[in-house]
Structure 1
Protein backbone atom coordinates (compact mmCIF):
# COMPACT_ATOMS: atom_id res chain seq x y z
CA UNK A 1 0.00 0.00 0.00
CA UNK A 2 1.62 3.20 -1.19
CA UNK A 3 1.63 6.37 0.83
CA UNK A 4 2.25 9.84 -0.55
CA UNK A 5 4.41 11.76 1.95
CA UNK A 6 3.02 15.09 0.79
CA UNK A 7 -0.55 13.84 1.08
CA UNK A 8 -0.47 11.05 3.66
CA UNK A 9 -3.28 8.79 2.44
CA UNK A 10 -3.19 5.05 1.82
CA UNK A 11 -3.80 4.59 -1.89
CA UNK A 12 -5.75 1.35 -1.69
CA UNK A 13 -8.00 2.62 1.10
CA UNK A 14 -8.65 5.84 -0.78
CA UNK A 15 -9.49 3.85 -3.91
CA UNK A 16 -11.91 1.61 -2.00
CA UNK A 17 -13.72 4.60 -0.52
CA UNK A 18 -13.89 6.21 -3.95
CA UNK A 19 -15.54 3.07 -5.37
CA UNK A 20 -18.13 3.01 -2.57
CA UNK A 21 -18.94 6.69 -3.12
CA UNK A 22 -19.16 6.19 -6.88
CA UNK A 23 -21.61 3.30 -6.54
CA UNK A 24 -23.62 5.24 -3.98
CA UNK A 25 -23.90 8.18 -6.35
CA UNK A 26 -24.98 5.98 -9.26
CA UNK A 27 -27.36 3.79 -7.26
CA UNK A 28 -25.91 0.77 -9.05
CA UNK A 29 -23.12 0.30 -11.57
CA UNK A 30 -21.57 -2.40 -13.70
CA UNK A 31 -17.93 -3.41 -13.56
CA UNK A 32 -17.27 -1.53 -16.80
CA UNK A 33 -18.96 1.65 -15.50
CA UNK A 34 -16.87 1.57 -12.34
CA UNK A 35 -13.71 0.81 -14.27
CA UNK A 36 -14.21 3.64 -16.77
CA UNK A 37 -15.82 6.12 -14.39
CA UNK A 38 -12.90 5.96 -11.96
CA UNK A 39 -10.10 5.06 -14.40
CA UNK A 40 -9.19 2.01 -12.35
CA UNK A 41 -6.58 -0.49 -13.53
CA UNK A 42 -8.42 -3.65 -14.64
CA UNK A 43 -5.75 -5.82 -13.03
CA UNK A 44 -6.68 -4.75 -9.50
CA UNK A 45 -10.32 -3.69 -9.93
CA UNK A 46 -11.74 -7.21 -9.68
CA UNK A 47 -9.87 -7.87 -6.45
CA UNK A 48 -10.94 -4.55 -4.99
CA UNK A 49 -14.62 -5.12 -5.79
CA UNK A 50 -14.49 -8.68 -4.47
CA UNK A 51 -12.97 -7.40 -1.21
CA UNK A 52 -15.69 -4.75 -0.82
CA UNK A 53 -18.40 -7.34 -1.51
CA UNK A 54 -16.89 -9.81 0.96
CA UNK A 55 -16.80 -7.10 3.64
CA UNK A 56 -20.43 -6.16 2.98
CA UNK A 57 -19.78 -2.67 1.64
CA UNK A 58 -21.04 -3.64 -1.81
CA UNK A 59 -23.49 -6.21 -3.17
CA UNK A 60 -23.12 -7.84 -6.56
CA UNK A 61 -26.20 -8.98 -8.45
CA UNK A 62 -25.07 -11.94 -10.55
CA UNK A 63 -28.20 -11.72 -12.69
CA UNK A 64 -27.74 -8.19 -14.03
CA UNK A 65 -24.01 -7.85 -13.18
CA UNK A 66 -24.65 -4.66 -11.17
CA UNK A 67 -22.89 -3.53 -8.00
CA UNK A 68 -24.87 -1.65 -5.35
CA UNK A 69 -24.32 -0.58 -1.74
CA UNK A 70 -24.22 -3.44 0.74
CA UNK A 71 -25.71 -3.85 4.18
CA UNK A 72 -22.47 -2.77 5.89
CA UNK A 73 -22.68 0.66 4.25
CA UNK A 74 -26.22 1.07 5.60
CA UNK A 75 -25.21 -0.08 9.09
CA UNK A 76 -22.32 2.37 9.32
CA UNK A 77 -24.48 5.17 7.94
CA UNK A 78 -27.04 4.60 10.67
CA UNK A 79 -24.36 5.02 13.32
CA UNK A 80 -23.38 8.50 12.17
CA UNK A 81 -25.16 11.11 14.29
CA UNK A 82 -22.77 14.06 14.03
CA UNK A 83 -25.24 16.34 12.27
CA UNK A 84 -28.48 15.21 13.92
CA UNK A 85 -28.38 17.52 16.94
CA UNK A 86 -27.78 20.53 14.72
CA UNK A 87 -30.53 19.53 12.27
CA UNK A 88 -33.04 18.72 15.03
CA UNK A 89 -32.44 22.02 16.81
CA UNK A 90 -32.46 24.08 13.62
CA UNK A 91 -35.49 22.55 11.88
CA UNK A 92 -38.29 24.20 13.95
CA UNK A 93 -36.59 27.60 13.54
CA UNK A 94 -36.19 26.96 9.82
CA UNK A 95 -39.86 25.96 9.52
CA UNK A 96 -40.98 29.23 11.12
CA UNK A 97 -38.65 31.27 8.92
CA UNK A 98 -39.87 29.48 5.78
CA UNK A 99 -43.51 30.03 6.75
CA UNK A 100 -42.97 33.74 7.50
CA UNK A 101 -41.06 34.43 4.27
CA UNK A 102 -42.85 31.96 2.04
CA UNK A 103 -39.49 30.73 0.76
CA UNK A 104 -37.23 27.70 1.07
CA UNK A 105 -34.74 27.60 3.96
CA UNK A 106 -31.75 25.24 3.81
CA UNK A 107 -29.07 24.06 6.22
CA UNK A 108 -25.83 22.62 4.86
CA UNK A 109 -22.45 21.37 6.01
CA UNK A 110 -19.14 21.78 4.19
CA UNK A 111 -17.48 18.60 2.92
CA UNK A 112 -14.35 19.35 0.92
CA UNK A 113 -15.57 21.78 -1.71
CA UNK A 114 -19.21 20.66 -1.58
CA UNK A 115 -22.14 21.73 0.52
CA UNK A 116 -24.19 18.81 1.84
CA UNK A 117 -27.79 19.60 2.78
CA UNK A 118 -28.85 18.17 6.14
CA UNK A 119 -32.19 19.96 6.64
CA UNK A 120 -34.61 21.75 4.31
CA UNK A 121 -37.83 23.64 4.99
CA UNK A 122 -39.56 23.91 1.63
CA UNK A 123 -41.55 26.97 0.63
CA UNK A 124 -45.20 26.37 1.66
CA UNK A 125 -46.64 27.23 -1.75
CA UNK A 126 -45.87 28.20 -5.32
CA UNK A 127 -42.58 27.20 -6.93
CA UNK A 128 -40.61 24.66 -4.88
CA UNK A 129 -36.93 23.88 -5.30
CA UNK A 130 -35.78 20.40 -6.26
CA UNK A 131 -33.18 20.22 -3.47
CA UNK A 132 -33.35 17.39 -0.94
CA UNK A 133 -31.63 16.28 2.25
CA UNK A 134 -28.39 14.53 1.37
CA UNK A 135 -27.91 16.42 -1.88
CA UNK A 136 -24.38 17.63 -2.57
CA UNK A 137 -23.59 20.71 -4.66
CA UNK A 138 -20.26 22.32 -5.51
CA UNK A 139 -19.81 25.26 -3.19
CA UNK A 140 -18.46 27.73 -5.75
CA UNK A 141 -21.85 28.10 -7.45
CA UNK A 142 -24.10 28.51 -4.40
CA UNK A 143 -24.59 31.19 -1.79
CA UNK A 144 -24.55 28.68 1.04
CA UNK A 145 -21.36 27.18 -0.38
CA UNK A 146 -19.56 30.52 -0.43
CA UNK A 147 -20.78 31.22 3.12
CA UNK A 148 -19.26 27.89 4.18
CA UNK A 149 -15.98 28.58 2.38
CA UNK A 150 -15.77 31.99 4.04
CA UNK A 151 -15.25 30.29 7.41
CA UNK A 152 -12.02 28.64 6.26
CA UNK A 153 -8.59 30.22 6.33
CA UNK A 154 -8.06 31.88 2.90
CA UNK A 155 -5.25 29.48 2.01
CA UNK A 156 -7.41 26.46 2.83
CA UNK A 157 -10.35 27.79 0.82
CA UNK A 158 -8.05 28.35 -2.16
CA UNK A 159 -6.52 24.89 -1.84
CA UNK A 160 -9.94 23.25 -1.87
CA UNK A 161 -11.18 25.29 -4.83
CA UNK A 162 -8.06 24.42 -6.82
CA UNK A 163 -8.41 20.70 -6.07
CA UNK A 164 -11.37 20.10 -8.41
CA UNK A 165 -12.67 21.21 -11.80
CA UNK A 166 -15.26 23.95 -11.28
CA UNK A 167 -18.01 23.71 -13.90
CA UNK A 168 -19.85 26.74 -15.27
CA UNK A 169 -23.54 26.02 -14.64
CA UNK A 170 -25.02 29.31 -15.88
CA UNK A 171 -23.71 32.44 -17.57
CA UNK A 172 -23.19 33.95 -14.12
CA UNK A 173 -21.26 31.07 -12.55
CA UNK A 174 -17.84 32.17 -11.34
CA UNK A 175 -15.13 29.60 -12.08
CA UNK A 176 -12.00 31.78 -11.94
CA UNK A 177 -10.14 30.97 -8.71
CA UNK A 178 -9.02 34.57 -8.19
CA UNK A 179 -12.54 35.91 -8.58
CA UNK A 180 -13.90 33.23 -6.25
CA UNK A 181 -11.28 34.06 -3.62
CA UNK A 182 -12.40 37.68 -3.80
CA UNK A 183 -16.08 36.72 -3.38
CA UNK A 184 -15.30 34.45 -0.43
CA UNK A 185 -13.19 37.18 1.20
CA UNK A 186 -15.99 39.71 0.74
CA UNK A 187 -18.49 37.23 2.18
CA UNK A 188 -16.25 36.72 5.20
CA UNK A 189 -16.09 40.45 5.86
CA UNK A 190 -19.79 41.08 5.26
CA UNK A 191 -21.05 38.03 7.16
CA UNK A 192 -23.19 36.73 4.31
CA UNK A 193 -22.89 35.38 0.76
CA UNK A 194 -25.09 35.53 -2.33
CA UNK A 195 -26.00 33.37 -5.28
CA UNK A 196 -27.54 35.52 -8.01
CA UNK A 197 -28.47 32.90 -10.64
CA UNK A 198 -25.01 31.33 -10.44
CA UNK A 199 -26.24 27.78 -9.82
CA UNK A 200 -29.62 27.92 -11.54
CA UNK A 201 -31.11 30.55 -13.84
CA UNK A 202 -34.08 32.22 -12.23
CA UNK A 203 -32.96 31.37 -8.68
CA UNK A 204 -31.37 33.53 -5.97
CA UNK A 205 -30.00 32.74 -2.53
CA UNK A 206 -28.65 34.61 0.48
CA UNK A 207 -26.74 32.65 3.13
CA UNK A 208 -25.03 33.23 6.47
CA UNK A 209 -22.47 31.14 8.39
CA UNK A 210 -24.01 29.27 11.31
CA UNK A 211 -21.35 27.29 13.17
CA UNK A 212 -17.63 26.73 12.68
CA UNK A 213 -15.34 23.85 13.62
CA UNK A 214 -14.18 25.82 16.65
CA UNK A 215 -17.72 26.67 17.76
CA UNK A 216 -20.21 23.99 16.79
CA UNK A 217 -17.76 21.28 15.76
CA UNK A 218 -18.61 21.55 12.05
CA UNK A 219 -18.83 24.16 9.32
CA UNK A 220 -22.54 24.85 8.82
CA UNK A 221 -24.47 27.62 7.07
CA UNK A 222 -28.11 28.65 6.68
CA UNK A 223 -29.75 30.06 3.55
CA UNK A 224 -32.97 31.35 2.05
CA UNK A 225 -33.45 30.45 -1.60
CA UNK A 226 -36.15 31.84 -3.86
CA UNK A 227 -37.11 32.36 -7.51
CA UNK A 228 -35.71 35.57 -8.98
CA UNK A 229 -39.26 36.55 -9.97
CA UNK A 230 -40.22 36.77 -6.28
CA UNK A 231 -37.36 39.13 -5.39
CA UNK A 232 -37.67 42.90 -5.47
CA UNK A 233 -35.45 45.97 -5.17
CA UNK A 234 -35.02 45.24 -1.45
CA UNK A 235 -33.38 41.86 -2.02
CA UNK A 236 -31.41 40.54 -0.26
CA UNK A 237 -31.65 43.07 2.58
CA UNK A 238 -35.30 42.26 3.25
CA UNK A 239 -34.38 38.56 3.57
CA UNK A 240 -31.05 38.99 5.35
CA UNK A 241 -32.43 40.45 8.61
CA UNK A 242 -34.84 37.57 9.43
CA UNK A 243 -32.22 35.05 8.24
CA UNK A 244 -29.60 36.46 10.61
CA UNK A 245 -32.15 36.45 13.46
CA UNK A 246 -32.91 32.77 12.77
CA UNK A 247 -29.20 31.92 12.74
CA UNK A 248 -28.69 33.70 16.05
CA UNK A 249 -31.66 31.83 17.56
CA UNK A 250 -30.25 28.48 16.44
CA UNK A 251 -26.82 29.29 17.89
CA UNK A 252 -28.45 30.29 21.18
CA UNK A 253 -30.43 27.04 21.31
CA UNK A 254 -27.24 25.09 20.68
CA UNK A 255 -25.39 27.06 23.33
CA UNK A 256 -22.78 27.99 20.73
CA UNK A 257 -20.89 31.25 20.83
CA UNK A 258 -19.25 32.28 17.59
CA UNK A 259 -17.03 35.31 18.27
CA UNK A 260 -15.20 34.83 14.97
CA UNK A 261 -18.34 34.90 12.79
CA UNK A 262 -19.32 38.32 11.45
CA UNK A 263 -22.96 39.16 12.11
CA UNK A 264 -24.26 41.45 9.35
CA UNK A 265 -25.28 44.84 10.71
CA UNK A 266 -28.21 46.82 9.33
CA UNK A 267 -25.79 49.04 7.40
CA UNK A 268 -24.46 45.97 5.56
CA UNK A 269 -27.85 45.31 4.02
CA UNK A 270 -28.29 48.81 2.56
CA UNK A 271 -26.49 47.84 -0.64
CA UNK A 272 -25.49 44.21 -0.14
CA UNK A 273 -25.40 43.19 -3.77
CA UNK A 274 -21.83 44.45 -4.08
CA UNK A 275 -20.63 40.93 -3.28
CA UNK A 276 -22.74 39.37 -5.99
CA UNK A 277 -21.11 37.79 -9.03
CA UNK A 278 -22.58 40.09 -11.65
CA UNK A 279 -19.40 40.02 -13.67
CA UNK A 280 -19.28 36.22 -13.79
Structure 2
Protein backbone atom coordinates (compact mmCIF):
# COMPACT_ATOMS: atom_id res chain seq x y z
CA UNK A 1 0.00 0.00 0.00
CA UNK A 2 2.73 2.48 1.00
CA UNK A 3 4.86 1.68 -2.04
CA UNK A 4 1.87 1.94 -4.38
CA UNK A 5 0.93 5.35 -2.97
CA UNK A 6 4.52 6.60 -3.36
CA UNK A 7 4.56 5.38 -6.95
CA UNK A 8 1.30 7.18 -7.69
CA UNK A 9 2.50 10.42 -6.11
CA UNK A 10 5.86 10.22 -7.85
CA UNK A 11 4.09 10.25 -11.19
CA UNK A 12 3.05 13.83 -10.47
CA UNK A 13 5.49 16.40 -11.77
CA UNK A 14 7.58 18.38 -9.33
CA UNK A 15 7.54 15.81 -6.50
CA UNK A 16 10.77 14.42 -5.03
CA UNK A 17 10.64 10.64 -4.86
CA UNK A 18 13.24 10.29 -2.09
CA UNK A 19 11.27 12.66 0.15
CA UNK A 20 8.10 10.65 -0.42
CA UNK A 21 9.94 7.43 0.43
CA UNK A 22 11.30 8.96 3.64
CA UNK A 23 7.82 10.10 4.66
CA UNK A 24 6.40 6.63 4.00
CA UNK A 25 9.16 5.15 6.15
CA UNK A 26 8.34 7.56 8.98
CA UNK A 27 4.65 6.71 8.68
CA UNK A 28 5.45 3.00 8.89
CA UNK A 29 7.62 3.39 11.99
CA UNK A 30 5.09 5.72 13.58
CA UNK A 31 2.37 3.07 13.36
CA UNK A 32 4.58 0.18 14.53
CA UNK A 33 4.21 -1.07 18.11
CA UNK A 34 7.85 -2.17 18.27
CA UNK A 35 11.14 -1.46 16.47
CA UNK A 36 11.32 -2.63 12.85
CA UNK A 37 14.27 -4.24 11.08
CA UNK A 38 15.71 -3.09 7.76
CA UNK A 39 14.52 -6.22 5.90
CA UNK A 40 10.91 -5.67 6.96
CA UNK A 41 11.14 -1.96 6.13
CA UNK A 42 12.49 -2.68 2.66
CA UNK A 43 9.90 -5.38 1.99
CA UNK A 44 6.94 -3.30 3.19
CA UNK A 45 8.02 -0.23 1.21
CA UNK A 46 9.04 -2.30 -1.86
CA UNK A 47 12.55 -0.84 -1.75
CA UNK A 48 15.95 -2.42 -2.31
CA UNK A 49 17.57 -3.02 1.11
CA UNK A 50 20.43 -0.69 0.15
CA UNK A 51 17.97 2.15 -0.53
CA UNK A 52 16.12 1.52 2.72
CA UNK A 53 19.44 1.50 4.56
CA UNK A 54 20.47 4.87 3.09
CA UNK A 55 17.12 6.39 4.03
CA UNK A 56 17.46 5.09 7.58
CA UNK A 57 21.01 6.39 7.93
CA UNK A 58 19.91 9.85 6.81
CA UNK A 59 16.90 9.93 9.15
CA UNK A 60 18.96 8.65 12.09
CA UNK A 61 21.50 11.38 11.44
CA UNK A 62 18.68 13.97 11.46
CA UNK A 63 17.22 12.56 14.68
CA UNK A 64 13.88 11.63 13.12
CA UNK A 65 14.37 7.91 13.68
CA UNK A 66 16.57 5.99 16.13
CA UNK A 67 18.40 2.68 15.83
CA UNK A 68 18.65 0.20 18.68
CA UNK A 69 22.38 -0.57 18.93
CA UNK A 70 21.70 -4.06 20.27
CA UNK A 71 19.24 -5.26 17.60
CA UNK A 72 19.87 -2.85 14.72
CA UNK A 73 16.13 -2.19 14.47
CA UNK A 74 14.56 1.21 14.02
CA UNK A 75 11.90 3.27 15.77
CA UNK A 76 10.86 6.92 15.73
CA UNK A 77 13.43 9.38 17.02
CA UNK A 78 13.32 12.36 19.39
CA UNK A 79 13.03 15.04 16.72
CA UNK A 80 9.97 13.38 15.19
CA UNK A 81 8.41 13.07 18.64
CA UNK A 82 8.97 16.78 19.25
CA UNK A 83 7.23 17.63 15.99
CA UNK A 84 4.33 15.30 16.81
CA UNK A 85 4.07 16.66 20.34
CA UNK A 86 3.50 20.11 18.93
CA UNK A 87 0.40 19.07 16.99
CA UNK A 88 -1.22 15.77 17.67
CA UNK A 89 -2.83 14.52 20.86
CA UNK A 90 -3.87 17.80 22.46
CA UNK A 91 -5.66 18.79 19.25
CA UNK A 92 -7.44 15.44 19.23
CA UNK A 93 -8.45 15.72 22.88
CA UNK A 94 -9.16 19.44 22.79
CA UNK A 95 -10.53 21.79 25.44
CA UNK A 96 -12.88 19.19 26.92
CA UNK A 97 -9.95 17.19 28.26
CA UNK A 98 -8.29 20.34 29.55
CA UNK A 99 -11.49 21.24 31.40
CA UNK A 100 -11.57 17.85 33.13
CA UNK A 101 -7.92 18.20 34.16
CA UNK A 102 -8.55 21.71 35.52
CA UNK A 103 -11.56 20.57 37.53
CA UNK A 104 -9.52 17.73 38.98
CA UNK A 105 -6.80 20.22 39.95
CA UNK A 106 -9.39 22.43 41.63
CA UNK A 107 -10.86 19.45 43.48
CA UNK A 108 -7.64 17.94 44.82
CA UNK A 109 -5.68 21.23 44.95
CA UNK A 110 -2.61 19.63 43.40
CA UNK A 111 -1.08 19.78 39.92
CA UNK A 112 -2.98 17.47 37.56
CA UNK A 113 -2.08 16.28 34.09
CA UNK A 114 -3.03 13.90 31.29
CA UNK A 115 -0.52 11.79 29.34
CA UNK A 116 -0.61 9.41 26.39
CA UNK A 117 1.92 6.75 25.42
CA UNK A 118 4.20 7.83 22.61
CA UNK A 119 6.58 4.96 21.86
CA UNK A 120 9.14 4.95 24.67
CA UNK A 121 7.80 7.99 26.55
CA UNK A 122 4.70 9.42 28.18
CA UNK A 123 3.62 12.55 26.32
CA UNK A 124 1.95 15.21 28.48
CA UNK A 125 -1.07 16.55 26.57
CA UNK A 126 -2.77 18.67 29.24
CA UNK A 127 -1.60 20.22 32.52
CA UNK A 128 -3.31 22.27 35.22
CA UNK A 129 -0.80 23.56 37.77
CA UNK A 130 -1.67 23.94 41.42
CA UNK A 131 -1.94 27.47 42.77
CA UNK A 132 1.28 27.11 44.67
CA UNK A 133 4.69 28.74 44.64
CA UNK A 134 6.25 25.26 44.56
CA UNK A 135 6.00 23.90 41.01
CA UNK A 136 6.15 20.11 40.94
CA UNK A 137 4.40 18.96 37.76
CA UNK A 138 5.43 18.53 34.12
CA UNK A 139 5.02 21.04 31.31
CA UNK A 140 2.69 20.65 28.31
CA UNK A 141 4.14 18.40 25.58
CA UNK A 142 6.92 17.21 27.87
CA UNK A 143 8.12 13.66 27.28
CA UNK A 144 8.32 11.77 30.58
CA UNK A 145 10.22 8.53 31.25
CA UNK A 146 7.90 5.55 31.48
CA UNK A 147 9.67 3.85 34.38
CA UNK A 148 10.10 6.85 36.72
CA UNK A 149 6.65 8.47 36.74
CA UNK A 150 3.22 7.32 37.87
CA UNK A 151 1.76 8.20 34.46
CA UNK A 152 4.47 6.28 32.65
CA UNK A 153 4.12 3.17 34.79
CA UNK A 154 0.34 3.30 34.42
CA UNK A 155 0.67 3.43 30.62
CA UNK A 156 3.14 0.53 30.68
CA UNK A 157 0.89 -1.55 32.92
CA UNK A 158 -2.06 -1.29 30.54
CA UNK A 159 -0.10 -1.68 27.29
CA UNK A 160 -0.11 -5.02 25.40
CA UNK A 161 2.04 -7.52 27.34
CA UNK A 162 4.14 -8.43 24.31
CA UNK A 163 5.06 -4.81 23.69
CA UNK A 164 5.90 -4.30 27.38
CA UNK A 165 8.18 -7.36 27.39
CA UNK A 166 9.98 -6.10 24.29
CA UNK A 167 10.31 -2.64 25.83
CA UNK A 168 11.72 -4.04 29.07
CA UNK A 169 14.22 -6.02 27.04
CA UNK A 170 15.59 -3.00 25.20
CA UNK A 171 15.02 -0.07 27.58
CA UNK A 172 17.84 1.59 29.49
CA UNK A 173 16.28 2.39 32.88
CA UNK A 174 17.97 5.63 33.80
CA UNK A 175 18.35 6.49 37.48
CA UNK A 176 16.99 9.95 38.36
CA UNK A 177 16.98 9.65 42.16
CA UNK A 178 17.98 6.99 44.66
CA UNK A 179 14.36 5.75 44.51
CA UNK A 180 14.13 5.25 40.74
CA UNK A 181 13.41 1.64 39.78
CA UNK A 182 16.24 0.59 37.46
CA UNK A 183 15.82 -3.20 37.68
CA UNK A 184 13.62 -4.63 34.92
CA UNK A 185 12.24 -7.49 37.03
CA UNK A 186 11.35 -5.17 39.89
CA UNK A 187 9.58 -2.87 37.43
CA UNK A 188 7.73 -5.84 35.92
CA UNK A 189 6.43 -6.77 39.38
CA UNK A 190 5.29 -3.20 39.94
CA UNK A 191 3.38 -3.26 36.64
CA UNK A 192 1.58 -6.44 37.69
CA UNK A 193 0.56 -4.77 40.97
CA UNK A 194 -0.69 -1.71 39.08
CA UNK A 195 -2.87 -3.87 36.82
CA UNK A 196 -4.43 -5.53 39.87
CA UNK A 197 -5.10 -2.43 41.96
CA UNK A 198 -5.89 -0.12 39.03
CA UNK A 199 -3.66 2.85 39.85
CA UNK A 200 0.04 3.73 39.88
CA UNK A 201 2.30 5.63 42.25
CA UNK A 202 5.73 7.23 41.99
CA UNK A 203 7.48 8.04 45.24
CA UNK A 204 10.19 10.64 44.53
CA UNK A 205 11.40 8.56 41.58
CA UNK A 206 11.86 11.32 38.99
CA UNK A 207 12.45 14.27 41.32
CA UNK A 208 13.22 14.33 45.02
CA UNK A 209 10.35 15.67 47.07
CA UNK A 210 7.66 14.90 44.46
CA UNK A 211 5.06 12.13 44.62
CA UNK A 212 2.52 11.13 41.99
CA UNK A 213 -0.65 9.10 41.54
CA UNK A 214 -2.12 8.01 38.19
CA UNK A 215 -5.31 6.25 37.09
CA UNK A 216 -6.37 5.01 33.63
CA UNK A 217 -8.88 6.74 31.37
CA UNK A 218 -10.05 4.61 28.44
CA UNK A 219 -10.55 6.67 25.28
CA UNK A 220 -12.05 6.39 21.80
CA UNK A 221 -12.17 2.65 21.08
CA UNK A 222 -12.06 1.61 24.73
CA UNK A 223 -8.60 0.13 24.19
CA UNK A 224 -6.58 3.37 24.11
CA UNK A 225 -5.46 4.23 27.61
CA UNK A 226 -4.50 7.66 28.87
CA UNK A 227 -2.93 8.34 32.26
CA UNK A 228 -4.65 10.90 34.45
CA UNK A 229 -2.13 11.91 37.09
CA UNK A 230 -1.75 14.11 40.15
CA UNK A 231 1.64 15.38 41.34
CA UNK A 232 2.38 17.06 44.63
CA UNK A 233 5.04 17.70 47.25
CA UNK A 234 5.89 14.57 49.21
CA UNK A 235 5.03 16.22 52.53
CA UNK A 236 1.50 16.93 51.25
CA UNK A 237 0.68 13.99 48.95
CA UNK A 238 0.73 11.07 51.39
CA UNK A 239 -0.24 7.77 49.80
CA UNK A 240 -1.76 6.37 52.99
CA UNK A 241 -4.17 9.33 53.08
CA UNK A 242 -4.85 9.49 49.34
CA UNK A 243 -8.29 7.83 49.29
CA UNK A 244 -10.25 11.04 48.59
CA UNK A 245 -7.73 12.08 45.93
CA UNK A 246 -8.02 8.70 44.20
CA UNK A 247 -11.82 8.91 44.31
CA UNK A 248 -11.70 12.32 42.61
CA UNK A 249 -9.25 11.01 40.02
CA UNK A 250 -11.43 8.00 39.20
CA UNK A 251 -14.47 10.25 38.75
CA UNK A 252 -12.48 12.50 36.42
CA UNK A 253 -11.19 9.48 34.47
CA UNK A 254 -14.75 8.19 34.06
CA UNK A 255 -15.78 11.62 32.78
CA UNK A 256 -12.95 11.58 30.24
CA UNK A 257 -13.95 8.10 29.09
CA UNK A 258 -17.57 9.20 28.67
CA UNK A 259 -16.62 12.35 26.76
CA UNK A 260 -14.39 10.44 24.36
CA UNK A 261 -16.65 7.39 24.14
CA UNK A 262 -14.22 5.02 25.81
CA UNK A 263 -14.98 2.42 28.40
CA UNK A 264 -12.90 0.54 30.94
CA UNK A 265 -12.61 -3.22 30.38
CA UNK A 266 -14.21 -3.67 33.77
CA UNK A 267 -14.46 -2.53 37.37
CA UNK A 268 -14.16 0.92 38.81
CA UNK A 269 -10.53 1.39 37.79
CA UNK A 270 -8.98 0.12 41.02
CA UNK A 271 -8.95 -3.55 40.19
CA UNK A 272 -9.97 -6.30 42.58
**TM-score (ref. length: structure 2):** 0.69
Q: 1:207 to 1:154 in 2, by over 3 A?
A: same
Superposed displacement of residue 153, structure 1: 2.5
CA distance in 2 between counterparts of 1:125 and 1:259 reads 36
Q: Secondary structure at the match of 2:147?
A: helix
Contact preservation (8 Å) 2:250, 2:269: yes
Q: Which residue of 1 aligns with 2:33?
A: none
Q: 1:87 to 1:185 in 2, by over 3 A?
A: farther
Instruction: Give runs of aligned pairs for residues 59-208 of structure 1, distance below 5 A.
Output: 80-129=87-136, 131-208=138-215
Superposed displacement of residue 225, structure 1: 0.5
Residues matched between the structures, number = 219
1:4 paired to 2:38: yes
- Most deviating of 11-20 and 238-247: 11-20
Superposed displacement of residue 82, structure 1: 4.6
Cα distance per residue 1:118-171 (max 9 Å; x no partner): 111111223112521111121001100010011112232121122221111111
Q: Secondary structure at the match of 2:176?
A: coil
Q: Which residue of 2 aligns with 1:226?
A: 232
**TM-score (ref. length: structure 1):** 0.67
**Deviation >6 Å, runs of 4+:** 6-9
Q: Which residue of 2 aligns with 1:27?
A: none
Q: 1:14 to 1:239 in 2, by over 3 A?
A: farther
- Structure 2 residue runs without a partner (length 5+): 1-20, 22-35, 45-51, 68-78
CA distance in 1 between counterparts of 2:245 and 2:59 reads 40
Contact preservation (8 Å) 2:137, 2:231: no
- Structure 1 residue runs without a partner (length 5+): 24-36, 39-68, 269-280
Cα distance per residue 1:161-210 (max 9 Å; x no partner): 22221111111111111111111111111111110111111110000111
